[in-house]
Amino acid sequence: MADERSSICKRETYQENIGKYLKKAEAYTKLIDELIRKKPVSAIADIIHIFQEPEVLTGHLYVLPEFCYSQIIEIITVDEVKKNGMASLFMQGNSLDELIRIIKQIEFRLWALEFVCGEDASDRLFMYLTKHQITLEALRTIIFVGGMEKQRCYLALACMYLEHGMAEQAVQLMEYGIEDYPMDRNLKDAYVQLR
């Protein structure tokens, strides 16, 4: 066991830092929840601004799961606005907890699809995505943070969209998969077959 005197972060220092970061993370999380509830015109810009602060990414982010999910929501929102000109996921809930619940439900349904848990796994996921107007940009981020076998997720989701007559979405999803995993031969082969 390492000598405590040579430790970079002694137990007391660690607890003090976590306590300091936790209070700030809780304050940020409360602010983000309030912005989601009230949805002022500046809400998205205000949330983006929070995650541009250097200390958020170096300490505060990782001490509170809800704050981590806030960053996932922020990433999805930025990607949706860039691609589609609107923040679809952000508008699907009236609180941070509701948006987290939506993301977790997608993760659970994605795992069921990934690991073929029931013949209707694809239909259950598709119905949930449709009900909540989940964009491909949101799916891409959720695959990144929650997919167990990410390349398999892209393939399974592309098949799901094809089964529902949505070839354009299947192709776009495969393009995202290739961007994220350019060395994956299965994704490239499947993409060529789709085109």
Q: What pLDDT, on the 0 to 100 scale, is given for residue 40?
A: 92
Q: Where do runs of H (alpha helix) occur along 147-184? A: 150-163, 167-180
Count of beta carbons in the 10 Å neighbourhood of residue 104: 13
Amino acid in position 132: H
Q: Is 116 left (phi over 0), alpha (psi -120 to 50) or beta?
A: left
Q: Where do runs of H (alpha helix) occur along the chain? A: 11-38, 43-50, 54-55, 65-84, 96-114, 121-131, 136-146, 150-163, 167-180, 185-194
Q: What pLDDT, on the 0 to 100 scale, is given for residue 179?
A: 95
Which two structure tokens, joined as six digits, stand for 180? Answer: 């994220």
Q: What pLDDT, on the 0 to 100 scale, is given for residue 9?
A: 57
Count of beta carbons in the 10 Å neighbourhood of residue 161: 23
Per-residue tens of pLDDT for the chain, all 195 residues: 444 444 445 666 667 767 778 888 899 999 999 999 999 999 999 999 999 988 887 777 677 899 999 999 999 999 999 999 999 999 999 999 999 999 999 999 999 988 877 779 999 999 999 999 999 999 999 999 998 899 999 999 999 999 999 999 999 999 999 999 999 898 888 888 877
Q: What pLDDT, on the 0 to 100 scale, is given for residue 21?
A: 82
Q: What pLDDT, on the 0 to 100 scale, is given for residue 12?
A: 67
**pTM (two decimals):** 0.86
